[in-house]
Amino acid sequence: MTAAVVAGALAGYGIAIPVGAVGAYLVAVTARTGWRTGAGAALGVATADGAYALLAVAGGSALVPVLAPVTTPLRWASALVLTVLALRAAWGALAAYRDGGLASRDDGTALTPARAYATFLGITILNPMTVVYFAALVLATGPSAPDTLPDRTAFVLAALAASASWQLLLALGGTLLGRALTGPRGRLATALASSTLIVALAIRLVARG
């Protein structure tokens, strides 16, 4: 079981650490709203990673050909959703700045921890390449792949914990960023910069496919 835990943790960090559009959006949302909302968002991402890890150990090799035809449309959908959210955040930041409302921690976007969890779960679940990634790792381990129920459970839980720890670290970074930015101009600049970065990473998500 120890081998399954190590493999799951490495797989979870492997999929979580490369910061893409979702990670950038997580940091931006936390900086704007605070730790509780950011933690909810982080756990939403981790839940999606854990669900895909579960699908991979339950039969990832069989799912790969099923997912192949929808991978590109879902990637486009994910990029579109992220772009819309980034533009909405930028527009809200500009409007709040004009009204003098960016001096506070929240720019007026009512995003509760529960809503953040659901939003980030939905964004992350749109990327079916995650299950392909986990399936490839499971298949690559050959005879040592987790094949018993305890080993598979340990693999999934370790992947979930690894992803959650990294996403929470990103949320912590967003919290510190938000505390450092106390002036309206700093908050506006950060909101616009993060929105630009998210759109760029969303375009890259489509382009590399």
Question: Which pLDDT tens digit goes with each residue over 82-103?
Answer: 788 778 777 776 776 677 654 4
- Say yes or no to pLDDT of 3 above 70: yes
Using the predicted structure, report yes or no on whether residue 162 has a pLDDT greater than 90: yes
**Most confidently predicted of 36-40, 73-77, 121-125, 205-209:** 36-40
Residues in contact with 182: Cβ distance below 8 Å, sequence separation at least 6, in sequence order: 103
Q: What is the mean pLDDT of residues 167-175?
A: 91
| Highest-confidence segment of 79-83, 94-98, 121-125, 198-202 | 121-125
Question: Are residues 174 and 30 in contact, defined by beta-carbon separation less than 8 angstroms?
Answer: yes
